[in-house]
Chains A and B, each alone.
Chain A
Amino acid sequence: MLSGRGPERAAEDMETKAPETDSAQSSAPRATVLVVAGDPGLKLLVSQKFRREIRENELSFVFADDGASALRTLGRSDVDVVVTDVQLPGTDGLTLLSDLKKYFPNIRSVIISAYGDMRTIRRALNLGAFDFLTKPIDLDDLGVTILKTVEEALALKQAVRDRERLAAIRQELDVARRIQLSMIPRTFPAFPGKSEFDIYGDIKTARDVGGDFYDFSILDGDKLYFAIGDASGKGVPAALFMAVTRTMIKAEAVKGNPPDRCLAEANRILCMENEFSMFITAFCGILDVGTGEVAYSNGGHKLPFLVRSGAEVETVPGTDGIALGVLEGESLYNVGTMKLGRGDTIFLYSDGVTEAANRQLELYTDKRLEMVLSGIGEGLPKDAINAVLVDVETFSEGVPQADDMALLAIRYN
């Protein structure tokens, strides 16, 4: 089979090498040059000079006799470089140059003028011509000038492509950010009728937006459900994984399940179809608004701080659960309980806060967070979160944020 292919290929090549049918070639040439000249001599010159490049599909040439047909050709084929005579039937080469500048700014051009006509050459360069050739045309000069211009045009093309790719990435991150923000309650005060507690949350998305979330809602009128989490990875996959998890945990809570069941059920479903081994850390709790009792469960998330009204700061005791989406099995998640007194605040956060870096690549750390929290006393959750955000900003000395930061604080009144 393989050997039988050789002659076929050769036959194909023969066909595509027929003069002036470059556009019929099976694969695209590396670059295409449009030659615009009333004089047929130039066409011949170019075809001879670039015989090898044409044969090897390095370059392809298309030809036009005047400015108008040049523009038509540009409109329908992918041209990288235009070589044009100044003198053309109808509109001249300089007019074509200004049209190029206007309609095809990414095409590089070379102008051909009479020897010594510096005025025209200068005008052409001012109109954006990349280089010039003078008549009578020197074959070597023609070769060097066109090849150089082609390289420049290809570099420009690549730069444009890179920029478009970057724009696409930005757009993806923007989609991710919107998914993320649409998932998170951001209207405060959240429950103007509830005086038993104050709640406030904030999220600062990093440039490479990740999958942080916080969530809360009232269950049965006297219970406050709250959660925080951080999905592995970045961009849309992380945002979607987070969105699904957040909804599953909440759905279990709404059904009346205790926090450990909420995590276990979400974990069970996440483990079912998780070929990319994504995982998400999550902490969720339910506050009994009447008594201040909190039942909670942790799935590999940073343990919240408990800021007592006397400003003493404790870490909430762990419940030994693994991040969600990693392990299947029963009893992976346990429930913990604590009791909030009046003026106590529970402060939840994601590791984007404590792993914020400064110029020396030092991290913000839990310790520094704890110190800031020890200064908030019985302040409002909003003030506590803002104090932390300000301190993180001071610490990081302008180093761009690498990871999302999610913060949620609840003060029991």
Chain B
Amino acid sequence: MDMTVINADDELTHVKLRGRVDLDTIGDLDREFTRQTVTRRKDVIVDMSDVDYMASIGLRMLITAAKALDKFGASMVLLNPHPDVEDVLRTAGFDKVMPIEHDLESARDALRARA
């Protein structure tokens, strides 16, 4: 499980998660993710296309960050999750807190719409 920052400018933080996110693999990712996203207080796009599996601990990480960002008037959008992961997110109703989009342009639009 790892994370890379694709872009971090005045308007947006764009990060990419990779691998399986569960209790065994989350390690320090939680803290690192918060540091790179919440502390910047900008809108966030999380590229999920390389996440194979996400357990509830991973969902909690995303939700916690999205709620914290919301307090700063910023939003989080999930980009292109694997169908299984998307199903988990939609089942839990988390797309209400973090919209799910399948291309970068719609992700940016979704963020503008929430601004």
Contact = CB atoms under 8 A, between A and B. Distances in A.
Interface string A41-55: 000000000000000
Interface in A295-349: 299-303, 320-323, 326-327
Contacts of A327: 96-97
Contacts of A279: 56, 59-60, 63, 92
Given A299-B93, A300-B91, A208 B57 contact: no
Given A281-B92, A300-B92, A351-B88, A232 B97 contact: no
A326 B61 CA distance: 12
Interface string A209-253: 000000000000000000000101110000000000000000000
A370 to B, nearest CB: 14
Nearest to A232: B56
Among A277, A278, A299, residue most surrounded by chain B Cβ atoms (within 10 Å):
A277
B84 A323 contact: no
Interface residues of A, number: 24
Contacts of A277: 60, 63-64, 67
A351 B90 CA distance: 13
Contacts of A233: 56-57, 60
Contacts of A322: 92-94, 96-97
A10 to B, nearest CB: 39
B84 A232 contact: no
A300 B67 CA distance: 17
B70 to A, nearest CB: 10
Contacts of B84: 363
Contact of A232 (B60, B67, B91, B96): B60
Interface of B: 22-23, 55-57, 59-60, 63-64, 67, 84, 88, 91-94, 96-97
Interface of A: 208, 230, 232-234, 277-279, 281, 299-303, 320-323, 326-327, 351, 363, 402-403
Given A233-B57, A233-B60, A326-B93, 16 more contacts: A230-B56, A232-B57, A233-B56, A277-B60, A277-B64, A277-B67, A278-B60, A300-B93, A300-B94, A303-B91, A321-B93, A322-B93, A326-B94, A351-B91, A363-B84, A402-B22
